[in-house]
């Protein structure tokens, strides 16, 4: 679809409804029903159980939001990288290293007001993630090493390192986790927002997650660095011709993306758990790819997609009596496959069209 006709269609109401997305969603729901039936349960009872288990009570809602919080961070991370034309599969490792950094730094905080020390822990988490992401971005800009490969390898490196650290040098006593954080480095739990959320893992990190997508969007649209990142994403050659340093911009974009992913660690370390252990945030990095792709570049979309996928994650526990929890992981995969891959395909097609048009073919 050419840009002109796309703009014309977008003006009408029918043009604004994302038909392809809705059709994809419909397919996913049908596929989910088949899966539920195959697993031996009546689909309607699974959906009912899913609804009550995710939003049916204060606790359920709290757990859903708790699952959504780190998803917003990893989703924003992947989304930012996508704006630069880079595919960040490293959110998994960036989140993990953020968790590690927050736990390590946080455990050594002195007593004092959280308003000083929580930002320090957050800075550590963001910094660690930024180092990881920035490395991948630099290798891409300077050496042309594809960020998919470098971030995947960095994921592996972080995974191996954290397994060793959590089981060995950083371990405290019998339980396999790091030293707990003092209260100066903790954020308040969900009940400070709404009493009904008491008992769930949701915490003040949610507030951070709520504003992050909009902050990033504003940065992208209003600052010079953000404009350079967007230029890199739309057409590398044009950006280079305009004087944008590809190396510096890809490093910056990936570093910021890594920082966003690392910030997700605050939810676990400063909020929910108070320490770090093996397996925290496992799968959240890859799910962040789903969040970013489903969100189609809109900050509100990131929040909606994160809550949706958080609900799927929390829902697994709720439906476990009827169907195995992992069926919802399959539903998530179907969602990513049918709705998400289509979204990125459209973006690729637009990019190819623009490239073809600019080459005068």
Partner 1 sequence: MSTALESGAVFLVQTVGAAVPLALATSGGVLSERAGVATIALEGYLLAGAFGAATCALATHSMLLALVASACAGALCAGLFAFTTVTLRANAIVAGVALNMLCAGGTRAALKVLYDSASNSPPLPVSAARDGSVASVAVRSLASMPTTWCAIAAVLFVSVLLSRTVFGLRATAAGEHPEALRAQGVSVERVRVGALVLGGALAGLGGAHLSLAQHEFVAYMSNGRGFLALAAVILGRWRPVPAAGAALFVGALSALQAVLAGPAGKYAVLLQALPFVVTLAAVVGLVGRTRPPAALSQ
- The residues of the shown chain that bind partner 1, judged by CB under 8 A, are 35, 38-40, 87, 89, 139, 143, 145-146, 148-150, 152-157, 159-161, 163-164, 168, 283, 286, 289-290, 293, 323-330, 332-334, 336-337, 340-342, 344-345, 348-349
Nearer to partner 1, 1 or 160 (CB): 160
* Cα(125)–Cα(262) distance, integer angstroms: 5
Cβ 354 to partner 1, closest distance in Å? 14
The secondary element (H helix, E strand) that includes residue 68 is: helix 58-83
The DSSP annotation for 39-67 comes to: TTS-HHHHHHHHHHHHHSSHHHHHHHHHH
Cβ 330 to partner 1, closest distance in Å? 4
Cβ 289 to partner 1, closest distance in Å? 5
Nearer to partner 1, 105 or 319 (CB): 319
Cβ 217 to partner 1, closest distance in Å? 22
Burial of 52 (0-12, 13-18, 19+ CB in 10 A): middle
Cβ 6 to partner 1, closest distance in Å? 18
Nearer to partner 1, 22 or 116 (CB): 22
Nearer to partner 1, 223 or 346 (CB): 346
Among 68, 131, 78, CA closest to 286: 78
Cβ 203 to partner 1, closest distance in Å? 27
* Cα(147)–Cα(141) distance, integer angstroms: 9
Nearer to partner 1, 149 or 300 (CB): 149
What spatial distance separates the first Cα and last Cα of the chain, rounded to whole Å? 16
Nearer to partner 1, 123 or 329 (CB): 329
State the alpha helices, DSSP H only, in 273-359. 284-295, 299-319, 326-335, 341-358
Give the three-class secondary structure for 296. coil
Among 133, 102, 155, CA closest to 285: 155
* Cα(187)–Cα(271) distance, integer angstroms: 5
The secondary element (H helix, E strand) that includes residue 33 is: helix 19-38
Cβ 284 to partner 1, closest distance in Å? 12
* Cα(137)–Cα(249) distance, integer angstroms: 8
Nearer to partner 1, 108 or 142 (CB): 142
The DSSP bridge partners found for residue 203 are: 189
């Amino acid at each position: 679809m050419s840009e002109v006709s796309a703009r014309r269609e977008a003006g009408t109401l029918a043009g604004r409804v994302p038909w392809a997305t809705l059709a994809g969603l419909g397919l996913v729901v049908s596929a989910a029903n088949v899966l539920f039936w195959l697993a031996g349960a009546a689909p309607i009872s699974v959906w009912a159980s899913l609804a009550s288990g995710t939003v049916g009570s204060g606790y359920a809602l709290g757990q859903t939001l708790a699952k959504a919080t780190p998803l917003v961070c990893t989703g924003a991370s992947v989304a930012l990288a996508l704006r630069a034309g880079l595919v960040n599969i490293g959110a998994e490792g960036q989140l993990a290293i953020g968790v590690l950094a927050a736990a390590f730094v946080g455990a050594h905080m002195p007593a004092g007001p959280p308003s000083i020390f929580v930002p320090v822990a957050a800075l550590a988490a963001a910094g660690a993630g930024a180092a990881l992401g920035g490395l991948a971005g630099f290798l891409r800009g300077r050496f042309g090493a594809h960020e998919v490969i470098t971030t995947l390898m960095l994921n592996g490196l972080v995974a191996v390192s954290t397994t060793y650290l959590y089981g060995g040098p950083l371990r405290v006593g019998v339980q396999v986790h790091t030293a707990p954080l003092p209260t100066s480095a903790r954020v308040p739990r969900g009940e400070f927002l709404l009493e009904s959320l008491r008992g769930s893992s949701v915490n003040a990190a949610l507030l951070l997650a709520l504003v992050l997508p909009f902050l990033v969007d504003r940065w992208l649209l209003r600052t010079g660095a953000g404009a350079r990142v967007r230029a890199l994403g739309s057409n590398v050659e044009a950006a280079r011709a305009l004087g944008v340093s590809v190396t510096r911009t890809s490093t910056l974009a990936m570093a910021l993306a890594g920082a966003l992913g690392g910030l997700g660690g605050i939810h676990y370390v400063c909020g929910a758990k108070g320490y770090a252990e093996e397996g925290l945030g496992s799968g959240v990095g890859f799910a962040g790819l789903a969040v970013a792709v489903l969100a189609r570049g809109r900050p509100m979309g990131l929040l909606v997609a994160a809550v949706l996928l958080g609900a799927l994650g929390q829902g697994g526990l709720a439906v476990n009596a009827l169907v195995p929890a992992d069926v919802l992981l399959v539903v998530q995969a179907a969602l990513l496959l049918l709705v998400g891959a289509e979204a990125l395909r459209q973006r690729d097609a637009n990019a190819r069209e623009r490239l073809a048009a600019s080459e005068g073919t």
